[in-house]
Chains A and B, each alone.
Chain A
């Protein structure tokens, strides 16, 4: 059983569409990170959220940390083919960093 559940597992959309991916847990995390991983490469950190209810924006990407710090979402506006990749969330639980299994996003042109 994953401590962090990500949904959906796979998402295929057309260029220009909006999408949201989710990272959920029954546990409280002190902070949560989002990484993007492209094929054949390692994950790259996009953002870290720390405060419950926090919202951070990175160009067309909007990240939100739930008020209770048990969940997070990533919203992409007007997706582009360059957004294609595996999106991983990772939460700090105690003194450990726990990764979710990821959402594979494919944006078709």
Chain B
């Protein structure tokens, strides 16, 4: 019973490099989202999707792109990494995306940008 799977677990990038964080869920959830977690800031929403082919911006979308070609996958792309993007990234999903619905989180990707 995998749930939400994120890869990689850890990543170190140099400033200006690009990369993709992978997220997959096997619960047939329509809603998927990406958060970043920084000390003292809580979880902040980057981008979200309410279904295949539909994406929208969250609270802190600058510097990140997403796409949703299938129900299962929701990759997060960093176009040109900056030190300010050093953070722990979490992918989360829920059945329908209704605010207050139970969110299922992946185990996170710790990203350092040098």
**Partner-B contacts on A (CB < 8 A):** 2, 4, 9, 30-31, 33, 40-45, 48, 50, 88, 90, 92, 94-102
Contacts and interface: CB of A to CB of B under 8 A. Distances in A.
Given A45-B102, A100-B42, 5 more contacts: A41-B108, A42-B4, A42-B108, A50-B100, A97-B99
A45 B100 CA distance: 11
Contact of A30 (B40, B42, B100, B105): B100
Q: Which 6 A-B pairs have the closest CB atoms?
A: A42-B105, A99-B42, A99-B43, A92-B100, A31-B100, A101-B42
Contacts of A9: 40
13 contacts: A4-B42, A30-B100, A33-B100, A40-B108, A42-B90, A42-B92, A43-B103, A48-B100, A50-B100, A97-B45, A99-B44, A101-B41, A102-B42
Contacts of A98: 42
Contacts of B35: 99
A40 B100 contact: no
Contacts of B90: 42-43
A98 to B, nearest CB: 8
A62 B35 CA distance: 28
B107 interface: yes
A56 to B, nearest CB: 14
A25 B40 CA distance: 16
B43 A88 contact: yes
A41 B107 contact: yes
B75 interface: no
Contact of B106 (A30, A42, A97, A99): A42
Contacts of B42: 2, 4, 88, 98-102
Contacts of B103: 43, 45, 97
A100 B40 CA distance: 9
B92 to A, nearest CB: 7
Nearest to A4: B42
